[in-house]
């Protein structure tokens, strides 16, 4: 496998200029770019043109260029993208290099599934502790009653909520301890009690509903 | 709680006219509309204006009108939306009333979490069998080796894949048995072997990555 520093190139990503703010749709494509680039890296690919990247990912080259242009100038005319560099930059944009530490409140199936995902397996986000349930791997385990006292000592930034009981009180405790983001897997929408903490309500059946929509549509198109 | 038939209204949803094709973003908002309307129904709300619906859902009224106009004329000037009717129509558009039957190949944590989601709990999609693992509730259980033989007898339309081993062969077997949609939770992207079957690769850490992005952005905005 060739090493990245064998290839020279200039990248002007740090130009301090106003860029188009990324749309929500652009942001939502970033994890996909990141995943695909990670696969290219493990396959030993050093660089790729936007058209080759586009073809493999099923989007247009101009879409990729437009998406990435929101964040910087990552490509080079006639060279394409430096895969490792682009992957690193996207990881940084996604906050994957920020050293996030996650606590788990409850350990429902969704939490276990999340722990088995690349983001946690690779340690991009570190699972540090679980409250009110048995942990997985090397996580510290605490009683739910210890949440208020222990949480501020853990340096956690993220919380994963699968415990439905007392969810609103738990959210307040999380906010008081300086947690900045919460993944809510309780199937009940929750609202952040303060502006400093973002709550993301995750609905695991959404992909299933969207798949059923596309199946329905495929059937209509045939009829 | 008032009954829906106490309210009269005319709805021209069945007009056979060409409508704007819904964008992917519009389609992705449908599960959210459906969830919110279901909550309104259980709270006894009979009708709602697009502006009230918009305010509660954090989108604009014109967005809602535009989204729904892709599928039909669901509102009535000066009346708003009939909640139960709109919920039923969105459910139908999403294929939730099509009587889907799902088989589970493997029973990983993601599959268990999905089974606890409203779509499966309400029975909008029926979990009929599991292969190669212990089932949950009343699902029939089969050996993985029985997949090819048993699958065609189950009347299944959907498959939920959490078993990574032999995933490509499994996909071919699913396609041969007439499965129309596959939710792939193996964290490895899979491509459908035929045009009649849609494979949706689901990445459970995507919401976590997007949350981290927004946390990063919130931090930048403060600095």
Predicted confidence at residue B12, as pLDDT, reads 45
**Is A121:A178 a contact under the CB 8 Å cutoff?**
no
Mean pLDDT over each residue of chain A, to the nearest integer: 88
Distance CA B223, CA B219 (A): 6
Min distance A102 CA to chain B CA atoms (Å): 10
* Cβ under 8 Å to B: A residues 6-35: 25, 27-28, 30-31, 34-35
Q: What is the mean pLDDT of chain B?
A: 88
pLDDT (tens digit per residue) in A154-205: 999 999 999 999 999 999 999 999 999 999 999 999 999 999 999 999 999 9
Residue with tokens 């964008």: B23
Q: What is the mean pLDDT of residues B167-174?
A: 96
> What does the radius of gyration of chain B's CA atoms come to, in whole angstroms?
21
Least confident of A44-58, A73-87, B2-16, B123-137: B2-16
pLDDT tens digits, B187-200? 999 999 999 999 99
Cβ atoms < 10 Å from Cβ of A126: 16
Mapping DSSP to helix (H, G, I), strand (E, B) and coil, where does residue A128 land? strand
B205 interfaces chain A, CB cutoff of 8 Å: yes
Provide CB contacts within 8 A for A48, sequence distance 6+.
A40, A80, A81, A83
**Residue found under tokens 């089969």:** B142
E-state strands within chain B:
47-48, 75-76, 80-82, 100-105, 125-131, 140-142, 158-161, 181-184, 198-201
Q: What is the predicted pLDDT for the residue at A18?
A: 58
Predicted confidence at residue B84, as pLDDT, reads 94
Contact (Cβ atoms closer than 8 angstroms) between residue B184 and residue A207: no
pLDDT of residue A182: 98
Sign of the CA dihedral running A113, A119, A122, A126: negative
Percent of chain B with pLDDT over 90: 70
Q: Which range (A167-171, B14-18, B154-158) has the least confidence?
A: B14-18
Cβ-based contacts of B219 with chain A (< 8 Å) = 180
Q: What phi and psi values does residue B161 have, to the nearest 5 degrees?
A: -105, 115
Quote the longest CA-to-CA distance of chain A: 61
Tell me which long-range contacts B116-122 makes (C-beta under 8 A, separation of at least 24): B116/A108, B116/A109, B116/A187, B117/A187, B117/A203, B117/A204, B117/A205, B117/A208, B118/A187, B118/A205, B118/B35, B118/B38, B119/A205, B119/A208, B119/A209, B120/A205
Helix (H) or strand (E) holding A141: strand A140-142
Two structure tokens written together for A130: 């679980």
Q: Please tell me which of A68-77, B18-27, B106-115 the model is most confident about, judged by mean pLDDT.
A: B106-115
Q: What is the ipTM of this complex?
A: 0.88
Given an 8 Å threshold on Cβ–Cβ distance, is A28 in contact with B210? yes
- The answer to whether residue B55 neighbours chain A at the CB level (below 8 Å) is no
Longest dimension (CA), chain B: 61
B-chain residues within 8 Å CB-CB of A28?
206, 210
Give residues 68 to 127 of A whose Cβ lies within 8 Å of B.
93-96, 98, 100, 108-110, 112-114, 116-120, 125
Query: pLDDT at position B223, please?
Result: 66
Chain B residues touching residue A35 (CB < 8 angstroms): 189, 203
The DSSP secondary structure of A142-169, one letter per residue, reads E-GGGHHHHGGGTT--EEEE---TTHHH
Query: Is pLDDT at B214 greater than 80 in this prediction?
Result: yes
Mutant choice from A104, A208, A216, A223 vs B, greatest count of B C-beta within 10 A: A208
């Amino acid at each position: 496998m060739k090493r990245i520093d064998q290839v020279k190139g200039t990248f002007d990503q740090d130009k301090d200029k106003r860029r188009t703010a990324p749309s929500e749709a652009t942001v939502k494509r970033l994890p996909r770019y990141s995943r695909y680039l990670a696969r290219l890296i493990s396959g030993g690919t050093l660089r790729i043109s936007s058209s080759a990247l586009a073809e493999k990912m099923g989007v247009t080259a101009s879409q990729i260029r437009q998406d990435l242009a929101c964040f910087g100038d990552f490509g080079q005319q006639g060279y394409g993208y430096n895969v490792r560099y682009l992957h690193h930059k996207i990881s940084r944009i996604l906050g994957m290099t920020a050293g996030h530490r996650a606590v788990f409140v409850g350990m429902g199936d969704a939490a276990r599934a999340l722990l088995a995902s690349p983001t946690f397996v690779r340690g991009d986000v570190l699972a540090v502790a679980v409250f009110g349930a048995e942990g997985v791997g090397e996580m510290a385990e605490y009683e739910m009653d210890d949440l208020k006292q222990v949480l501020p000592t853990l340096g956690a930034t993220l919380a994963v909520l699968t415990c439905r009981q007392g969810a609103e009180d738990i959210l307040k405790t999380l906010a008081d301890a300086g947690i900045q983001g919460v993944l809510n897997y309780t199937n009940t929408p929750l609202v952040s009690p303060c502006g400093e903490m973002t709550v993301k309500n995750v609905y695991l059946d959404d992909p299933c509903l969207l798949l059923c929509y596309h199946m329905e549509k495929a059937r209509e198109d045939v009829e």
